[in-house]
A and B are shown apart, each in its own frame.
Chain A
């Protein structure tokens, strides 16, 4: 039994509308607070004025040029990770699956570190990270194919082993690199929204991914039950799995390009949403995207302001907020389940 007890066949439409409205309001509220907070205090009123009228001035510049891109890309990255995590869990039929489990982030980090060691900078590092992610995606895909088709356990094992390989390469590079380079390398390993630039292509990718995932959400519900069951009800299981694999991988790679490897969101958000509204992917996927975005923007707000002027790695905050919230949710559902 999920905590909110909503489903698509018996919950009245207004309740579902209310659920999404609440999430939107929460997203906007967290976004506004984020825009107002920082070393230079800007009042909430002023933030709204700046967003609406875009006047000249130093505060306007701070809000529009420094904070807004960070907030928007935080939301996009959070949404991408949560969606990728929810998709991976269904694809691998494993509750412990998360976006990084198949080595996509390991591959891109390892390649980014290689580029840094080689003395490259800027866009070259991003390009290298991108090729690392793509290489991993195709490696896992190629190695996990067998005569019997595409078995989730085989994919999982292949991915975990390839991820471990990248992990070893990363440790090796960290060990031999001069200390001056280490700081730039840590960005890729810990995750940080500080360098992320808003790019409308990422937003476009997220929207496209949500639409595609929603189209296949009913088929995903069947896939979660079992391959044969899904196939006998009319799902083209092999195509769907390949499609979901590439969709989740591309989302993960895009999130890593923007902000390095931010842990926890891809694992915890889908599960928290499962506890709240159940396992129906038609609701789970969109709610996860919104919640993931909200959590990451909120965590980044805390990371910037908690020990200001020092900035904390945002991944630390996602775990620090996510873990207790998740445990509370878990406790309240198990309490509800007792007769």
Chain B
């Protein structure tokens, strides 16, 4: 079943065009990686697909229904976004923050149901945050915050996961743990995933498909094994790339 699709999508920020007549079809069970240089518009494209900003042209369909026909709350139960950064002018505790993920499931005022507390404890446990559940968010390290944002997304429990650099601030071990957890969860819920990553090898490891934003509103997308190659990466990064084959996988690193 097609979970997320875009037809003839044109996205613009100010005067610069991020993509023109972009087509995309993501089926359930697929995991997509989004790769592109700095400032090419990965975040903007992700936000557009999440319905957080309007495209200039084109259609976005979620579960074969036009994105514009969704109301905010049902949309929030269907699509979850992990943002690049978070602010804390008026910080709350880790526990309260993770519970905000339940917002789309309750109308108006809710003091926190027991099942929500259980979900929160499970998610905090999975992301190794349970011991700091009463800490203020502004006292956490960058990596701990990142895991908190992922835990919040677990409580939101969407079908379509749009992640903007989920491994930001995470050390090597936590990168793998977090991505293992996320991909497992997406698989369990028969959901789908689209994530921005700067690490080609992580995309190769976790994604079945990839979108490469090559710059000058050129994109190429398809099976990760076909679109991720030395030639495309060199065009994308404007930098020579070395390719090493180990077993079935190809590894890429800057020359």
Residues of A within 8 A of B (CB): 1, 7-10, 89-90, 93-95, 214-219, 221-222, 224-226, 228-229, 231-236, 274, 278-280, 282
Contacts and interface: CB of A to CB of B under 8 A. Distances in A.
Contacts of A229: 83, 86
Interface of B: 47, 50, 52, 72-73, 75-77, 79-81, 83, 86-93, 95-97, 99-101, 103-104, 106, 108-112, 116-117, 134, 136, 156
Nearest to B80: A232
B74 to A, nearest CB: 8
Contact of A235 (B90, B92, B103): B103
B117 A9 contact: yes
A224 to B, nearest CB: 5
Contacts of B81: 228, 232
B72 A234 contact: yes
Nearest to B95: A9
B109 A215 contact: yes
Contacts of B73: 234
B100 A233 contact: yes
B95 A235 contact: no
A55 to B, nearest CB: 43
Chain B CB within 10 Å — which of A10, A89, A214, A282 has the most? A10
A218 B92 CA distance: 13
Given A10-B95, A222-B103, A282-B109, A231 B52 contact: yes
Contacts of A1: 134, 136
Nearest to A90: B90
Contacts of A9: 95-96, 99, 111-112, 116-117
A225 B93 CA distance: 12
Contacts of B108: 215-216, 218
A10 B136 CA distance: 15
5 contacts: A1-B136, A218-B108, A225-B86, A233-B101, A234-B75
Contacts of B112: 8-9
A95 B76 contact: no
Pairs of residues from A and B, 9 with the lowest C-beta to C-beta distance, nearest first = A234-B76, A9-B112, A234-B104, A279-B90, A234-B73, A232-B81, A8-B111, A233-B103, A234-B72
Given A9-B112, A233-B101, A235-B72, A228 B89 contact: no
Contacts of A234: 72-73, 75-77, 103-104
A90 B72 CA distance: 21
A225 B88 CA distance: 6
B88 A232 contact: no
B47 A228 contact: yes
A1 B81 CA distance: 28
Contacts of A233: 76, 100-101, 103-104, 156
A128 to B, nearest CB: 36
Contact of B109 (A94, A218, A231): A218
Chain A CB within 10 Å — which of B92, B97, B156 has the most? B92
Given A10-B117, A231-B52, 18 more contacts: A9-B95, A9-B96, A9-B99, A9-B117, A217-B109, A218-B106, A218-B108, A222-B103, A226-B83, A228-B47, A229-B86, A232-B76, A233-B103, A233-B104, A234-B72, A274-B90, A279-B92, A280-B92
A229 B72 CA distance: 13
Contact of A221 (B92, B101, B104, B136): B92
A90 B106 CA distance: 22
Given A9-B96, A217-B109, A95 B90 contact: yes
Given A233-B156, A234-B72, A280-B96, A218 B86 contact: no
A290 B109 CA distance: 20
Contact of B89 (A10, A95, A232): A95
A310 B88 CA distance: 46
Nearest to B84: A228
Contacts of B103: 218-219, 222, 233-235
A108 to B, nearest CB: 28
B137 to A, nearest CB: 9
A226 B72 contact: no
Contacts of B134: 1
A47 B80 CA distance: 59
A47 B156 CA distance: 55
Nearest to B116: A9
A123 to B, nearest CB: 39
Given A233-B76, A234-B75, A234-B76, A93 B52 contact: no
B156 to A, nearest CB: 7
A222 B81 CA distance: 14
Contacts of B47: 228
A335 B50 CA distance: 43
A233 B50 CA distance: 11
Nearest to B110: A218
Nearest to B79: A232
A232 B77 CA distance: 9
Contacts of B106: 218
B72 to A, nearest CB: 5
Nearest to A227: B52
A278 B97 CA distance: 12
Contacts of A235: 72, 103
A168 to B, nearest CB: 30
Contacts of B96: 7, 9, 221, 278, 280
A208 to B, nearest CB: 16
